[in-house]
């Protein structure tokens, strides 16, 4: 889609959401948070992909990497889009109600307070912007030719960049999602969030490559499919491990998270996640044939992306306290469309005049000749 069309779709999505905001600002802000986090997971997943390729000195992925670089380069726009969450944070986060804190939240107040919350967010976006823009620019700079040393430089910088990215995304998930229920905590929540980010990034990359002129082959799609398949199982493993340990222990502050999602009409969504986010994608892209068939693989990527959005919705919305959450579903979908369309428009802008292939990467011939054995 052209950038102007995407901007119109984004404006329509946000405009429709404003209608819901005018009638119920608090409930609508939960929808905004859902759309914001869902769209943000795509560039974060792309960022993880790029750093992993540099760290492992992978040759097969060079043809696919530029699309991920486009995706991660637009992360600065999310810093601006985060401002409404700061402004209306009092409506979203119970710990921000300083006059009504119980003993547990008083003890957590040195960390869970709006001033420190904003400072941490600034740090997160500074890290993501620094990584995304720097690696994108160095990759494009390498296209000018004769700059093979940049590959080694990006590999070195990637070693500490991925540590910063892992820590920042984990803490961001704690701040923006887990703290919606501030009495509950999980030591693997950051890993759960990372798995979703990587799935979203891989699905986005694969779909973009299918619509591009990049000379990727069934060999590359097969490897992208392997990663999607593997992280589908990883997401399920982390999600089930968290549930099993907490539910079996039967400690009130730990089971609170799941009780919220088994009441007030949320139980069908909770049970459906097992099917939509694991069983269907597991069988859909498990075979070698499915990964190498563009139509089947595209269907799998679209399904995984949509299922991921449902997962984020499941993380955010039960905390809104709305018993009839379906009443505002259309506004939640509208703002999600707005965020995704704006993200794609930003990607289209970044792509202008830039080669879709990292022409200066010394491993490009290896990627072009890549075959699975």
C-alpha–C-alpha distance, residues 185 and 174, integer Å: 8
Residue of 291, 368, 290, 351 lying closest to 61 (CA atoms): 368
Residue of 175, 215, 212, 208 lying closest to 193 (CA atoms): 175
Q: Could you tell me if 370 and 59 are in contact, meaning their C-beta atoms sit under 8 angstroms apart?
A: yes
What are the distances in angstroms from CA 332 to CA 19, 43, 195, 310, 322? 11, 21, 23, 11, 13
Give the confidence band of 144 by pLDDT, cuts at 50, 70, 90.
confident
What pLDDT is stored for residue 251 in this prediction? Answer: 81
- Estimate the share of the chain in helix, then strand, then coil, as percent rounded to the nearest 5: 80, 0, 20
293: pLDDT strictly greater than 80 = yes
C-alpha–C-alpha distance, residues 239 and 271, integer Å: 12
pTM for this model (two decimals): 0.96
What pLDDT is stored for residue 99 in this prediction? Answer: 79
324: pLDDT strictly greater than 70 = no
Domains of the chain, by residue range, sit at: 3-356
C-alpha–C-alpha distance, residues 359 and 140, integer Å: 9
User: pLDDT, tens digit, for every residue of 24-82?
Assistant: 999 999 999 999 999 999 999 999 999 999 999 999 999 999 999 999 999 999 999 99
CA-angle at 88, arms to 84 and 93, nearest 5°: 120
The percentage of the chain sitting over the pLDDT mark of 70, rounded to a whole number, equals 98
User: pLDDT, tens digit, for every residue of 106-132?
Assistant: 999 999 999 999 999 999 999 999 999
Give the confidence band of 322 by pLDDT, cuts at 50, 70, 90.
low
CA-angle at 271, arms to 230 and 253, nearest 5°: 95
């Amino acid at each position: 889609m052209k950038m102007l069309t995407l901007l119109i779709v984004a404006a329509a999505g946000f405009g429709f959401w404003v209608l819901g905001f005018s009638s119920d600002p608090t409930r609508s802000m939960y929808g905004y948070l859902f759309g914001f986090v869902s769209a943000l997971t795509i560039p974060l997943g792309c960022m993880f992909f790029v750093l992993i390729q540099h760290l492992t000195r992978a040759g097969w992925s060079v043809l696919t990497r530029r699309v991920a670089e486009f995706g991660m380069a637009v992360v600065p726009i999310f810093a601006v889009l985060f401002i409404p969450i700061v402004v209306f944070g009092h409506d979203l986060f119970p710990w921000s109600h300083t006059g009504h804190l119980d003993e547990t939240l008083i003890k957590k107040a040195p960390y869970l307070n709006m001033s420190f919350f904003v400072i941490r967010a600034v740090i997160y976006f500074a890290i993501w912007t620094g990584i995304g823009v720097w690696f994108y620019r160095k990759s494009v700079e390498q296209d000018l030719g004769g700059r093979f040393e940049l590959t080694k430089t990006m590999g070195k910088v990637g070693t500490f960049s991925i540590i910063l990215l892992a820590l920042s995304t984990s803490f961001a998930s704690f701040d923006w999602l887990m703290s919606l229920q501030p009495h509950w905590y999980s030591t693997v929540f950051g890993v759960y969030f990372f798995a979703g980010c990587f799935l979203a990034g891989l699905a986005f990359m694969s779909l973009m490559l299918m619509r591009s002129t990049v000379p990727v082959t069934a060999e590359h799609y097969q490897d992208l499919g392997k990663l999607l398949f593997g992280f589908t199982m990883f997401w399920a493993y982390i999600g089930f491990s968290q549930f099993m340990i907490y539910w079996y222990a039967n400690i009130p502050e730990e089971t609170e998270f799941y009780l919220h999602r088994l009441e007030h009409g949320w139980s069908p969504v909770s049970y459906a996640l097992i099917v939509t986010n694991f069983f269907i994608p597991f069988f859909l892209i498990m075979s070698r044939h499915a990964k190498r068939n563009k139509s089947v693989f595209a269907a799998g990527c679209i399904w995984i992306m949509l299922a991921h959005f449902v997962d984020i919705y499941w993380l955010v919305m039960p905390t809104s306290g709305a018993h009839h959450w379906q009443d505002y579903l259309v506004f939640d979908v509208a703002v999600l469309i707005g965020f995704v369309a704006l993200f794609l428009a930003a990607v289209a802008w970044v792509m202008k005049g830039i080669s879709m292939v990292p022409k200066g990467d010394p491993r490009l011939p290896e990627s072009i000749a890549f075959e699975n054995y």
